[in-house]
Amino acid sequence: MVDIEIEIDGKVVHGNSGESVISIADREGIEIPRFCYHKKLSVSANCRMCLIDIKGNPKPQPACSTLASAGMKLYTKNAKAKAAQKAVMEFLLINHPLDCPICDQGGECELQDVAMEYGSDVSVFNEGKRIVADKDIGALIHTDMTRCIHCTRCIRFGAEVAGIVEMGGTGRGEDLKIEPFLSEGIQSELSGNMIDVCPVGALTSKPFRFEVRSWQMNSIQSIARHDLVGSNIFTQTHKGKVKRVVARDNESVNETWISDRDRFSYQGLASEKRCLVPKIKVNNEWREASWQEALDFAVNGIKNNNSDGSKFGALTSKNATLEELYLLQKLTRGMGSDNLDYRSDFANPAAANILKSSISLAELEDIDHALIVGSHLRLEQPMINHRIRKATLNGASVSAINAQTFDSNYRISNNLLTAPQNTLATLSGVLKAVLNEASEKQPDYLNSVVVEQAHKDIADNLLNAENAVVILGEHVNGNPDSDGISQLVKDIAEASQAQTLNVSLTSNSLAAEQVGFRPVNGKNALEILASDLNSFVMFDIYPDFDCFNPESAIENLSRSDAFVVSLNSFEDDSVLKYSDVVLPIASFYETSGTHVNIDNISQSYSASVKSAGDSKPGWKVIKVLADLLEIQGFEFVDSCEVADEALSMTPSTSVARAKITGSEIPEISTVWQCAPYSVDALVRHSSSLQETQIGQINVASVSKATAKLLKLSEGDLFKGVPVNINNSVAEGCVFVHTYQPRKC
């Protein structure tokens, strides 16, 4: 790429040779109308709206497909360019409905905008407009294909970004119809971006339909909190309600895209199951209470059961804000307790942060090899997976050590199926292979390890790469060997000079790490939930999804001598079962807060709307509880002060080396993965997400041989989940992927 000079409309501008003229013009603020061009998609040059006059060229040329070369002289607004643009505009409008006032895209339609500027007033077309029958393409995207202008952005988005070809153009000529195959609909986890790329009202948000007009809404900058990326979004609100979520550009975080989970979860805010008023349990009867009464009730309960704090414990979900995590941590420690944790769904919370990430989101695009360990990356972290996909498009290869072969949107060239109980052994083999090939000294614990060819292959992949990354995913959390596994991943990365990416700590877990929301000497989540502690604060916990062993957790917390204060946004029967007080708190978008993403970037956001009913932002509730408990140091006026204090903490970085000793090895084990649209209470209450295929994931996959051992046949229920016998799963385990509550 060399810097060159060209002239646009008489203005001398700079660009790179080989860069498209339209992108130079965009950078220079020179307006060229366009529909098919999208900066993140391949060029198709089919709409012809961007035709401009290039000196020396008899025909007008598309600015999007014309590459700049030194000395070029372009005219974007002379008579020739204008005539071409007007002609195209007229053709686009002859078959387009002119009923903008009733169109869902009205007010934010690229066609409408451009037509105002480039269209002619009278249409001389009176041959009858084309009408296109619509079909149902799923719960998220509404179609109104009569409005389609065939720009193919949605098709290209699917093929190039989402990585599955679902949309296509059938028929030809005037009958060209943009649609997915038959009734298969659009299933990608990134599908909602098609709505954003569609320049007209052909693809619009289904949940948003008919809600309000776009210009009636306020757009508020916010951050999506369902994953480790913290995608930048706008929440669009009307009369105090979030009506829509759209992507906000941030190249280093989410580029221009967001996942469907981030886009459609807001629907859960309007659920009927919201906690709207405080409730207290008196004589085993629940009744509503005023905030004052409920807070007093809670504080008395805690005080009565606690003289020195040693019997107090606090658990939080990993979706809490940095501020909430910080304050609850401070409260707990202020109580004199060190029993606190955010890892209530871990089989072995001992490990957790052994593995730190060493590579940024943007850098992921430049890797040449990725080794994925224990992750269905595409559904766990769609936007991170997207970066890996981009790397593969640039030639990177990917291998995996997983318990199942997952549907991926790139090729996984080397997939080593490994049951959880064998993961430690496999990784040991890989480490030994890496050290062997690098002729490095081996630690004693590898002495008895046998290196198999498959281990060598994985090691070779890593060693042959110049810029590899090892990714550790969610599945490790349910593995009793998680500390050893994390340690080995770290060792393998070190020995092969690969980067690391730990996506096992999702959502806002890194904020929890930042504020030290885990015990130093006290009890961890598992211990808290199995202990004889007698007063608890449970922040945003829904035990059936959030606890490793829900049944025993609920049972223990329901002890008559246990006093449980729960803070929740959504009603939950299990919570009611063990709690003594339920304090309603704000959900996503209803509170200000901070998300710490995988790049360790703290992204703060303000509340987009007021919290539902009488519920209050969690950080305020914790602050008041602390005040009432007479704990010092809670004199905060706003959440920014809390965030400042939280971020000034220096989290302890020293992590003890984990011992590589396998725990008891069960013959057959289970991997339990929560389906992506069930990972937190908000998404679980988003009806449109629940209706999608991904929302309906509910399958216990098992190999033929293992099924036989377990006496399972197709369609049987395994822990309540229908069994599917297939050969994608490692022998010796059942892979459960489900929207259902967890069963240990």
Partner 1 sequence: MNKVCFKNINKDNPSSLATYEASGGYKVWRKILKGELSQGKILDELKTSGLRGRGGAGFPTGLKWSFMPRNQEGQKYVVCNSDEGEPGTCKDRDILRFNPHAVIEGMAIAGYVMKASVGYNYIRGEFMEPYYRFEEALNEAYGAGLLGEDINDSKITFNLYTHLGAGAYICGEETALLESIEGKKGQPRFKPPFPANVGLYGKPTTINNTESFASVPDILAKGGQWFADLGVPNSGGCKLFSVTGHVNNPANFEIPMGTPFSDLLEMAGGLREGRKLKAVIPGGSSTPVLPAKAALKMNMDYDSIDKAGSMLGAGSVIIMDDTTCMVKALTRLAHFYYDESCGQCTPCREGTGWIYRVLKRIMDGHGKNEDLDLLLSVQDKIIGNTICALGDAAAMPVESFIRHFRKEFEHYIKNGESMVAKDG
Partner 2 sequence: MISDQAKKEIDIWVAKYPTGRQSSAVMEALKIVQAENGGSLTNDLIKAVADYLDMPRINAQEVATFYENYNHKPVGKHVIRFCHNISCMLNGADDLISYLETKLGVKTGEARKDGLVSVKKVECLGACVGAPMCQIGDKYFENLTEQRIDEILDGLK
Could you tell me the smallest distance in angstroms from the CB atom of residue 176 to partner 2? 9
Residue 578, C-beta contacts closer than 8 angstroms, at least 6 positions apart: 543, 554, 557, 558, 562, 564
User: What would the two tokens of residue 454 be?
Assistant: 């498959």
- Show the binding pattern over residues 686-705: x = contacts partner 1 (CB under 8 A), - = does not: --------------------
**How many DSSP H helices and E strands does the chain contain?**
24, 31
Answer yes or no whether residue 168 interacts with partner 2 by CB under 8 A: yes
**From 112-120, 179-187, 363-371, 420-428, span contacting partner 2 (CB under 8 A):** 179-187
Question: Distance between CA atoms of 312 and 303, rounded to whole angstroms?
Answer: 10
Answer yes or no whether residue 93 interacts with ligand FES by CB under 6 A: no
152 binds, among ligand FES, partner 1, partner 2, none (CB under 5 to 8 A by kind): partner 1
CA 32 from centroid of its chain's CA atoms: 34
Enumerate the β-bridge partners of residue 179: 168
Answer yes or no whether residue 114 interacts with partner 1 by CB under 8 A: no
Query: Which 15-44 positions form the footprint of partner 1 (CB under 8 A)?
Result: 43-44
**From 45-53, 552-560, 576-584, 615-623, span contacting ligand FES (CB under 6 A):** 45-53
Answer yes or no whether residue 165 interacts with partner 2 by CB under 8 A: yes
**CA R_g for the chain:** 28
Answer yes or no whether residue 628 interacts with partner 1 by CB under 8 A: no
**Terminal C-alpha separation, the chain:** 57
Answer yes or no whether residue 336 interacts with partner 1 by CB under 8 A: no
The beta-strand segments (E) located in 497-637 are 499-502, 535-539, 563-568, 581-584, 593-596, 602-605
Q: Is 434 helix (H, G, I), strand (E, B) or coil?
A: helix
**From 174-182, 291-299, 457-465, 620-628, span contacting partner 1 (CB under 8 A):** 174-182
Answer yes or no whether residue 59 interacts with partner 1 by CB under 8 A: yes
Query: Which 139-168 positions form the footprint of partner 1 (CB under 8 A)?
Result: 149-150, 152
Residue 123, C-beta contacts closer than 8 angstroms, at least 6 positions apart: 90, 93, 94, 98
584 binds, among partner 2, ligand FES, partner 1, none (CB under 5 to 8 A by kind): none
User: What would the two tokens of residue 302 be?
Assistant: 């805690």
Closer CB to partner 1, residue 60 or residue 192? 60
Q: What is the DSSP string of 201-263?
A: SSEEETTTTTS--GGGSEEEEEE--SSSS--EEEEEEETTEEEEEEE--BTTTTBT---HHHH
Answer yes or no whether residue 58 interacts with partner 1 by CB under 8 A: yes
Answer yes or no whether residue 637 interacts with partner 2 by CB under 8 A: no
Asked if 353 contacts 505 with a C-beta cutoff of 8 angstroms, the reply is yes
Answer yes or no whether residue 564 interacts with ligand FES by CB under 6 A: no
Nearest to 87 by CA among 123, 113, 54, 43: 123
Answer yes or no whether residue 60 interacts with ligand FES by CB under 6 A: no
User: What would the two tokens of residue 328 be?
Assistant: 């609850």
Answer yes or no whether residue 121 interacts with partner 1 by CB under 8 A: no
Q: Which conformational region is residue 9 in: left (phi greater than 0), alpha (psi within -120 to 50 degrees), or beta?
A: left
Nearest to 225 by CA among 595, 642, 616, 620: 595
Question: Distance between CA atoms of 178 and 232, rounded to whole angstroms?
Answer: 29
Question: Distance between CA atoms of 534 and 304, rounded to whole angstroms?
Answer: 10
Closer CB to partner 2, residue 167 or residue 660? 167
**From 57-65, 213-221, 454-462, 562-570, span contacting partner 1 (CB under 8 A):** 57-65
Answer yes or no whether residue 618 interacts with ligand FES by CB under 6 A: no
In the set 4, 47, 50, 469, which binds partner 1 (CB under 8 A)? 47
In the set 20, 76, 95, 337, which binds partner 1 (CB under 8 A)? 95
Answer yes or no whether residue 37 interacts with ligand FES by CB under 6 A: yes
Could you tell me the smallest distance in angstroms from the CB atom of residue 94 to ligand FES? 17
Question: Distance between CA atoms of 436 and 275, rounded to whole angstroms?
Answer: 58
181 binds, among partner 1, ligand FES, partner 2, none (CB under 5 to 8 A by kind): partner 2
Enumerate the β-bridge partners of residue 372: 400, 471
Answer yes or no whether residue 171 interacts with partner 2 by CB under 8 A: yes
In the set 129, 181, 464, 666, which binds partner 2 (CB under 8 A)? 181
Answer yes or no whether residue 454 interacts with partner 2 by CB under 8 A: no
Query: Which 66-85 positions form the footprint of partner 1 (CB under 8 A)?
Result: 67, 84
Could you tell me the smallest distance in angstroms from the CB atom of residue 131 to partner 2? 18
Closer CB to partner 2, residue 198 or residue 671? 198
Question: Distance between CA atoms of 455 and 429, rounded to whole angstroms?
Answer: 6
Answer yes or no whether residue 400 interacts with partner 1 by CB under 8 A: no
Asked if 395 contacts 452 with a C-beta cutoff of 8 angstroms, the reply is no
37 binds, among ligand FES, partner 2, partner 1, none (CB under 5 to 8 A by kind): ligand FES
In the set 59, 172, 659, 711, which binds partner 2 (CB under 8 A)? 172
92 binds, among partner 2, ligand FES, partner 1, none (CB under 5 to 8 A by kind): partner 1
Question: Distance between CA atoms of 117 and 731, rounded to whole angstroms?
Answer: 64
165 binds, among ligand FES, partner 1, partner 2, none (CB under 5 to 8 A by kind): partner 2
Binding site for ligand FES (CB under 6 A): 34-37, 45-50, 62, 64
Binding site for partner 2 (CB under 8 A): 164-172, 179-182, 184
